[in-house]
Copies of this chain bind each other. A is one copy, B any other.
Amino acid sequence: MQGLWYREVEQGRRFLVKLAPGEPLRQRLVEFARAVDLRHAVVVSAVGSVQDLRFRGIKAGASLPITPPRMHLHEVAGPLELLGLAGNLLPDERGEVTCHLHVMAARSSGEVLGGHLFDARVFATCEVVLSEIRAEGVERHLSRTGGVPAAFIPDEPAP
Partner-B contacts on A (CB < 8 A) = 1-11, 13-23, 28, 31-32, 35-36, 42-49, 55-62, 64-66, 72, 74, 76-84, 86-88, 100-104, 106-116, 122-125, 127, 129, 131, 133, 135, 138, 143, 145-148, 150-151, 153, 158-159
Q: A114-B104, A127-B88 are in contact. Are A133 and B7 (CB under 8 A)?
A: no
Contact B82 A102 (CB under 8 A): yes
| SS of A interface (majority) | strand
Contact A32 B57 (CB under 8 A): no
Query: In the bound complex, what is the Cα–Cα distance between A140 and B49 (angstroms)?
Result: 16
Contact A28 B4 (CB under 8 A): yes
Residues of chain B within 8 A of A64, CB atoms compared: 21, 123-124
- From residue A19, how far is it (CB to closest CB) to chain B in Å? 6
Chain B residue at minimal CB-CB distance from A135: B16
Contact B109 A112 (CB under 8 A): no
